[in-house]
C-alpha cells in the first residue's frame, strides 16, 4: 500500500464556522495549499506581507503531503496571495482570532495505491470491521516529524534544563531528508554556532531572526532565546511528546484489556500501534464510551487499568508526572486533556478498484470519509489495509515474489509462443480490462453490502 504518491491523492476539506462581522478586526480567508505545512504557509504569509506571527490565526494543523483547504485569518489588513502552491480566498471578517474550535469536521478523499489482488479481496471485510469497531484514535506519523529528521523529542531536553541542546536541535540541526532552504539556514548555524554577529546569507534566515537577535545581546541565555520562538510552535513540541505518551499508554491498555491475540500491529514513525479486530459486546461498549488522558503534572485517574497503562511509558522513561515540567519556564507547560479512545469515520465510502497508473500490475482505490478535528485520516486508511503494514509485511511479499520468480519455466514451443501472442494481443487486453472492471464492481458492491443498514422506523398505527 502507498499513500500520497501525488498531491491530489490526498485531499482534505475543512468544514468550519465563524461569526461573520463586517466590522471585525480579523479578515478570514480560505487557504488552499499543496506540499506545505500550516506553519510553512503561515510563515510565507508573514514574510510576504510583513505581518507579525501573532496577527495570523488558523483553525488547526493540516498535513504537508497532499492538498488541503482550511481557514486562516489576518488581523488588521487585507492581503492577496495567489501562488501555485498557496492561494487565499476572502471569506469575510470576524471579531475574534480563529482556533481549533472553529473547525467542525474534516472530509478526506484518499487514493490508496500499489495494491495487490489479495489486498483488494480483503478490503470488504476490513471496511465491515471499521464500521463495527471504529478506529483507535492514535496520533499518526505526521505528529512525530522531529523523530523522522533526527531531532528526537525537543521538549525532553527542555525538561532536563538543557536549553542549549534544545536550541541546537531547533536552529542548527539540518535534516538529511530536507532539501529546502531551511536546511541551508540550519547548516550555517551548525558551522557557526556561537558566532551570533555573523550574517546568515541563506534565504529564509529571517525565520530565526528573533532568536539570533536575542543571542547577540545575551550569548549564553539559550532559555531566553527559545522563548523567542513562535508560541504555537513551542506548544506543539510539548504536544508531540504528550502524543507519544498517549499512543504508548493506549497500546498498553489495549494489550491489557483486549488481549494480544485479538490485536493486529502496524508500523509507524514512532514504533508500532495495535488495533482490535474483534471485541465482545461489553468491551466494545466500554471502549466506545471512554477517553484516555494526555498527561500533565496534575493528571488524576479514576480507573486503575487506565492509570497503570498511562503511567507505563513514563516509568520506562524513568519519569513521573512531576517530571512533565520545564524548569524555570512556566511559559512551556504540560496540560492534562482527555482524548476519545475511538473515532468512527462518517460517510465511509469505497470507490471502484482500478488499475494503478503509477505502479505497473497493481491496483488503486479511492476511499472517502469524514472525521472530527484532531483525528488522523492516514490511520483510518492504515486500519483498512492493516496487513500491508504489519512488521515484516514487505519482506514477506518480497520473499513470495522472489520465490515465484525462481520457479523454473519450461521452454516454449513455437506453437505455444504463437498462442501466447494471441492471448496478449489487443482483443485479449480488452477482454482482461472488461473482466477487471467487473471484478471492481463486485468488490465495491461487497463493500456496500458490508455496511450496516439503518434501522427501519416503526410504522404509525
Among 97, 119, 141, give the residue marking a domain's end.
Answer: 97
- The answer as to whether 461 is a domain residue is no
Is residue 30 within 8 Å of residue 92, measured between CB atoms?
Answer: no
Q: How high is the pLDDT of residue 418?
A: 54
Q: Terminus-to-terminus CA distance in the chain, angstroms?
A: 53
Residue of 106, 108, 109 whose CA lies nearest to 14: 106
Question: What is the distance of C-alpha 294 from the center of its chain?
Answer: 18
Q: How high is the pLDDT of residue 103?
A: 81
- The answer as to whether 320 is a domain residue is no
Is residue 348 within 8 Å of residue 79, measured between CB atoms?
Answer: no
Q: How high is the pLDDT of residue 419?
A: 58
User: CA 292 to CA 311: how far, in whole Å?
Assistant: 12
Is residue 27 within 8 Å of residue 414, measured between CB atoms?
Answer: no
- The answer as to whether 57 is a domain residue is yes
CATH number for the domain including 86? 3.30.70.3160
- The answer as to whether 140 is a domain residue is no
- The answer as to whether 145 is a domain residue is no
Produce one character per residue of 270-282: b if its CB has 16 or more CB atoms within 10 Å, e if not. beebbbbbebeee
Give 50's DSSP letter: T
User: CA 58 to CA 367: how far, in whole Å?
Assistant: 27
- The answer as to whether 135 is a domain residue is no
- The range of the structural domain enclosing residue 170 comes to 163-232
CA-based torsion, 355, 359, 362, 367: positive or negative: negative
Among 232, 265, 280, give the residue marking a domain's end.
Answer: 232
Among 97, 127, 142, give the residue marking a domain's end.
Answer: 97
The secondary structure of 374-407 as a DSSP string is T--HHHHHHHHTGGGSSTTHHHHHHHHHHHHHHS
Question: Can you list the residues of the chain whose pLDDT is less than 50?
Answer: 404, 423-424, 461
Continuous segment of H or E residues that includes residue 163: helix 163-171
- The answer as to whether 29 is a domain residue is yes
Residue of 276, 244, 10 whose CA lies nearest to 129: 276
Long-range CB pairs of 439-448 (<8 Å, 24+ gap) are 439/120, 439/353, 440/352, 440/353, 440/354, 441/352, 443/120, 443/121, 443/123, 443/124, 443/352, 443/353, 444/350, 444/351, 444/352, 444/353, 446/124, 447/123, 447/124, 447/127, 447/350
Question: What is the distance of C-alpha 106 from the center of its chain?
Answer: 13
Q: Where are the beta strands (DSSP E) in 218-312?
A: 263-268, 271-276, 291-294
Phi, psi of 114 (to 5 degrees): 60, 45
3-state helix, strand, coil in the chain (%, to 5): 45, 20, 35
Q: How high is the pLDDT of residue 236?
A: 92
Sequence-distant (6+) residues with CB within 8 A of 315 are none
Each residue's pLDDT tens digit, 76-87: 889 999 999 999
- The answer as to whether 68 is a domain residue is yes
Number of folded domains that form the chain: 2
Q: How high is the pLDDT of residue 75?
A: 93
In angstroms, what CA-CA distances link 161 with 144, 150, 225, 327, 332? 22, 20, 14, 6, 12
User: CA 30 to CA 69: how far, in whole Å?
Assistant: 7
Q: How high is the pLDDT of residue 288?
A: 96
Residue of 314, 272, 337 whose CA lies nearest to 156: 314
Q: How high is the pLDDT of residue 416?
A: 59
Amino acid at each position: 500500500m502507498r499513500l500520497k504518491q501525488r498531491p491530489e491523492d490526498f485531499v482534505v476539506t475543512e468544514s468550519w464556522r465563524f461569526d461573520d462581522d463586517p466590522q471585525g478586526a480579523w479578515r478570514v480567508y480560505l487557504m488552499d495549499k499543496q506540499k506545505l505545512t500550516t506553519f510553512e504557509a503561515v510563515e510565507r504569509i508573514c514574510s510576504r506581507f510583513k505581518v507579525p506571527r501573532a496577527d495570523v490565526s488558523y483553525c488547526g494543523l493540516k498535513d504537508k503531503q497532499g492538498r488541503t483547504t482550511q481557514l486562516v485569518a489576518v488581523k488588521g489588513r487585507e492581503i492577496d496571495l495567489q501562488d501555485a502552491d498557496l492561494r487565499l480566498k476572502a471569506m469575510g471578517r470576524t471579531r475574534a482570532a480563529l482556533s481549533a474550535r472553529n473547525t467542525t469536521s474534516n472530509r478526506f478523499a484518499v487514493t490508496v495505491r500499489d495494491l495487490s489482488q489479495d489486498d483488494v479481496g480483503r478490503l470488504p471485510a476490513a471496511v465491515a470491521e471499521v464500521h463495527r469497531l471504529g478506529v483507535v484514535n492514535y496520533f499518526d506519523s505526521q505528529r512525530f516529524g522531529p523523530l523522522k529528521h533526527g531531532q528526537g523529542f525537543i521538549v525532553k531536553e527542555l525538561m532536563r534544563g538543557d536549553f542549549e541542546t534544545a536550541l541546537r536541535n531547533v536552529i542548527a540541526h539540518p535534516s538529511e531528508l530536507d532539501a529546502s532552504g531551511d536546511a541551508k539556514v540550519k547548516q550555517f548555524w551548525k558551522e557557526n554556532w556561537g558566532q551570533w554577529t555573523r550574517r546568515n546569507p541563506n534565504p529564509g534566515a529571517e525565520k530565526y531572526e528573533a532568536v539570533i537577535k536575542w543571542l547577540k545581546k545575551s550569548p549564553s541565555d539559550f532559555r531566553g532565546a527559545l522563548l523567542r520562538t513562535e508560541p504555537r510552535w513551542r506548544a506543539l513540541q510539548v504536544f508531540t511528546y504528550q502524543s507519544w505518551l498517549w499512543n504508548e499508554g493506549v497500546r498498553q491498555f489495549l494489550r491489557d484489556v483486549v488481549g494480544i491475540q485479538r490485536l493486529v500491529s502496524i508500523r509507524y514513525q514512532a514504533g508500532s500501534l495495535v488495533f482490535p479486530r474483534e471485541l465482545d459486546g461489553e468491551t466494545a461498549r466500554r471502549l466506545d464510551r471512554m477517553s484516555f488522558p494526555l498527561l500533565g503534572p496534575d493528571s488524576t485517574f479514576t480507573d486503575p487499568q487506565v492509570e497503570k497503562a498511562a503511567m507505563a511509558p513514563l516509568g520506562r522513561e524513568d519519569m513521573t508526572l512531576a517530571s512533565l515540567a520545564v524548569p524555570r519556564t512556566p511559559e512551556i507547560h504540560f496540560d492534562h486533556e482527555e482524548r476519545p479512545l475511538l473515532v468512527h469515520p462518517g460517510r465511509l465510502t469505497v470507490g471502484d478498484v482500478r488499475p494503478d497508473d503509477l505502479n505497473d500490475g497493481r491496483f488503486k482505490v479511492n476511499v472517502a470519509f469524514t472525521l472530527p478535528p484532531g483525528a488522523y485520516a492516514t490511520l483510518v486508511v492504515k486500519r483498512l489495509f492493516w496487513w500491508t503494514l504489519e512488521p515484516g509485511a514487505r519482506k514477506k511479499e518480497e520473499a513470495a515474489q522472489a520465490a515465484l520468480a525462481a520457479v523454473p519455466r519450461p521452454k516454449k514451443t513455437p506453437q505455444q509462443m504463437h498462442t501466447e501472442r494471441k492471448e496478449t494481443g489487443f482483443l485479449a487486453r480488452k477482454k482482461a480490462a472488461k473482466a477487471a472492471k467487473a471484478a471492481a464492481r463486485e468488490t465495491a458492491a461487497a463493500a456496500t453490502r458490508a455496511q450496516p443498514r439503518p434501522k427501519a422506523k416503526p410504522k404509525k398505527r
